[in-house]
């Protein structure tokens, strides 16, 4: 991630970070996003982050 991309993301998210800390944040995000940017999403099983129901748990309390 470049500093320019970081600034663009900040603008889109409406957040401000001190100029002298941008490089630290850039490195933090670069490390966090490296595996994501390296992945080929087509090669992964679909993951559906949706509600699932457990027959046992949904009796008497919450279904989750």
Which residues make up the interface to another protein (CB under 8 A)? 6, 9-10, 13-18, 20-21, 23-25, 27-29, 31-36, 38-39, 41, 44-45, 47, 49, 56-57, 61-62, 64
Q: What is the DSSP letter of 20?
A: G
Q: CA–CA separation, 34 vs 29, rounded Å?
A: 8
Q: CA–CA separation, 20 vs 3, rounded Å?
A: 12
Quick one: 4 or 64, whose CB is closer to another protein?
Answer: 64
Q: How far is the CB of 55 from another protein (least distance, A)?
A: 12
Handedness of CA 32, 38, 44, 50 (dihedral sign): positive
Quick one: 4 or 62, whose CB is closer to another protein?
Answer: 62
């Amino acid at each position: 991630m470049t500093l320019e991309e970081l600034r663009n993301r900040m603008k889109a998210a409406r957040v401000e970070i001190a100029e002298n800390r941008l490089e630290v944040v850039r490195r933090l995000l670069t490390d966090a996003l490296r595996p994501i940017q390296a992945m080929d999403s087509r090669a992964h099983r679909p993951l559906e982050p949706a509600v699932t129901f457990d027959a046992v748990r949904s009796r008497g309390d919450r279904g989750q």
